[in-house]
Chain A
Amino acid sequence: MSKWKEVSASGRERLFAWLRRHRRRIVELGKTCLIIILFCSACFLADRSGILGQGGFSTVRENVTAWLRGGESGPAVMSGREYATAAKPQVMAVSPDDGVHYGAAFTSEVDELYERFSAFLGEALGTSEQIIQLTTEQWLAALSRRGIYFDFAVPQRLDCLAAWQQTSVPWDTENICARRLFLSVEEQDVRLYFAVEGSGAAYCCDTEVEAGALSTRMERYQSNGAYFAFEREETDRLDADVLIVPAADTVRGVSGTAVSFVGRTETVLQQFGMNTVTATSYQEASGTAVYLDGYSTLRIQQDGLITYEREPGQDLPEFDLRGTVSLPELADRLYSLTMELSGNGGDCAQLRLLQADYDLQNDRYTVSFAYFIDGMQVCCGLGPAAEFTFAGGTLTQAALCLRQYEFTGETQTPLPAVQAAALVSASGGTDPVRVYQDMGDRVTVSWKMG
């Protein structure tokens, strides 16, 4: 035991001697450790106290990481191409049971419903097969069953509808356009029904959508009195597959002004691929400024309307479509152009794709955009917000009626849908569509005959 004491005593003496020799270095090391601990503690306390902003250190870390990566943000996501703009339905119905409909029409609620069910529509389009042509009676019978009804108000190409859901239709759609589609839940299966515009024919196809998953998402909806025109005698003069949603509501008052291009002429010319240096210009008696550059003619009217024309067959590199551009990609490109010129349409309006179509016979593309406020399209007497025509692989015509809208703080009570349906059918129309009507000096809510 004494030997052990001797050994430990001598060990302690050596330790103390070593400490005395290296006292300064140990103190400095201690200070360094203390600085590191205090720094980490300060960072922790700063994060907890919110001094670094709402995201705290995680935001700072993300920003630094993004800077080090050269601007990349977030992990790579292998998803299909997502488009900046896509057509959306203006009327939808969820039928949780046969003959029971929960409908939404020309309101922002349609957007919420579409967000809930658009993935199923994409899956149905992407897995559609065994296409069968139907009679009108079979189409209407399907609408009475359980399912989801989509009405885009304007015919949409099926391949575009699928592309906007990051998928593709597995059969040759041959440019089929459909305005109204219906996902029918039939026991264990889900079938896709659609009515083709122009021919009036209806089709259905099998899909691989899971009936159980779709039914679960439909469960929460109950009837709100919505019905199809064919289900009631008083609406039998309308198109049979029009959905009437009787719920009375108020809409927000809106005012509109033209977008000014004063001082932005160069931007407009550049957007249309015109050379700002070599283009010549003159003013018409009406005050319209006209710009000429080669085969392109651009007019900017005093009320803000822009029209563009180019001789067909004259290539325009910025808008050369040959070979590679799909219709949704073209729509995205034109959407960017229109947004660059107009912004989004003010505080309350949203610029949205209305239609993207391709006429195979004439090799002509048409893409049009409209403003939407609270789910309702804004109709202007001068035309849609923007319309572009491509022929022979290049842009030949464009007309832009760009506006800015703001809420006035007032509300309007539009004619209820049931009365509007009666009025429209008495006037010889078959399809009532509720819109904001922009008459230049004022914007009102009205029903137009579709």
Chain B
Amino acid sequence: MATSKIKNLLIYILLFVNLFLLALLVSDWLQTRRSQHTVETEVQSILTNSGITMDHIRLPDNTQVKSYTLARDYSAEADLAESILGRLTVQELQNGNIMYYRGERGEASFRGTGDFEVLLTNHAVPISGDTVDTARSVLRKMGVRAQFAPELSTQMGKTYSTVVMVWEYEGLPVVNAQIQFTFTSEFLMMISGNRMLDIQREDDTFRPLDSATLLTRFVGIVNRNGYVFSELKEICPVYLSPDSSGGKLTPLWRIETDAGSFYLNMTTGEEQPVA
């Protein structure tokens, strides 16, 4: 009986806690929606005054984006090589931080700069379906999520002789981490590119600016540098992989306009080159 009463009490307490947290979430959500709407209206008027239209653009929620520290993890790298090459027969750290692998299906080298190259033996990976499907199936084996970038790929007739995929993390593209799949008419010949290094931990110091501030900073950058465009097409968060063999996965805003793309650092609001 006592146990039953304790359970009843626990249920009441947990119900109360749940209702309280739910009320907190709902009120937070309503407030965010209200302020988001206010922000969007204000920013839209700022841009309209500057001669820029931004119809139907939803500002991303920066609070959902996180930053991470990255470093080179040789064991993760070996797993990646093995997923492509099969059982590894040679694994050698050469001078200059270059790791060389040889397996059943070819050989690969991975560099400290993040660049890598995989040369496959003939017919090791035959084309199945079309080249894009083949590239996707290889990526599944690698355990890598990536987005197909047709604008960076080379089309030949109805198919692609070179398929470029942009690395993805938590659903966001890592703009400077691209994988290129080079095909012959029958099989995959080579995989090369710049890989995103390995996640170590979340960066607790990451504090993004809010959407209104970022957009206002963007207007300042446009005015300062004399960029000319008339329409904002899309604003979405993306990631930038660090240059050296370690650093942070930096969240950026990619702002698509009718004159090209711009990238804004979410922490500083400064324009960020991504090449």
- A interface residues with partner B (beta carbon < 8 Å): 28, 31-32, 34-35, 38-39, 41-42, 45-46, 48-49, 51, 54-55, 58-59, 62, 73-80, 115-120, 122-127, 165-168, 170, 207-210, 213, 216-217, 219-220
Contact = CB atoms under 8 A, between A and B. Distances in A.
Interface string B109-128: 00111010000000000000
B97 A80 contact: yes
A76 B73 CA distance: 8
A123 B113 contact: yes
SS class, residues of chain A in contact with chain B = helix
B24 interface: yes
Contact of B95 (A45, A55, A76, A126): A126
Nearest to B22: A45
Given A45-B22, A126-B97, A167-B97, A217 B275 contact: yes
B245 A119 contact: yes
A116 B98 contact: no
Contact of A42 (B14, B97, B113, B201): B14
B24 A77 contact: no
Given A51-B21, A127-B96, A115 B244 contact: yes
Nearest to B28: A49
Contacts of B74: 77-79
Contacts of B244: 115-116, 118-119
Given A28-B4, A42-B14, A127-B96, A115 B72 contact: no
Contacts of A76: 75
Nearest to A73: B201
B18 A38 contact: yes
B97 A119 contact: yes
A39 B74 CA distance: 40
B157 interface: no
Contacts of A77: 71-74, 198, 200
A409 B275 CA distance: 35
A208 B96 contact: yes
B130 interface: no
Nearest to B111: A123
A220 B98 contact: no
Given A35-B14, A41-B14, A79-B71, 4 more contacts: A55-B202, A77-B73, A119-B245, A123-B98
Contact of B18 (A41, A78, A120): A41
B260 interface: no
B69 to A, nearest CB: 9
B228 interface: no
Contacts of B245: 119, 166
B7 A119 contact: no
7 contacts: A42-B14, A77-B72, A77-B74, A119-B111, A123-B98, A126-B98, A167-B96
A73 B10 CA distance: 35
A115 B242 CA distance: 9
B152 interface: no
Given A42-B17, A165-B97, A208-B96, A79 B200 contact: no
Interface in B197-218: 198, 200-202, 204
B133 interface: no
Contacts of B42: none
Among B7, B96, B200, find the residue whose CB has the most chain A CB atoms closer than 10 A. B96
Contacts of A80: 97
B273 interface: yes
Given A79-B72, A122-B97, A49 B24 contact: yes
B14 A38 contact: yes
Contacts of A116: 243-244
Enumerate the 7 nearest inter-chain pairs by beta-carbon distance, A residue then B residue, closest first.
Answer: A126-B96, A45-B21, A38-B14, A127-B96, A123-B96, A126-B95, A78-B74
A219 B274 CA distance: 11
Nearest to A54: B204
Nearest to B113: A119
Contacts of A62: 201
A123 B112 contact: yes
Given A77-B198, A213-B113, A213-B115, A168 B95 contact: yes
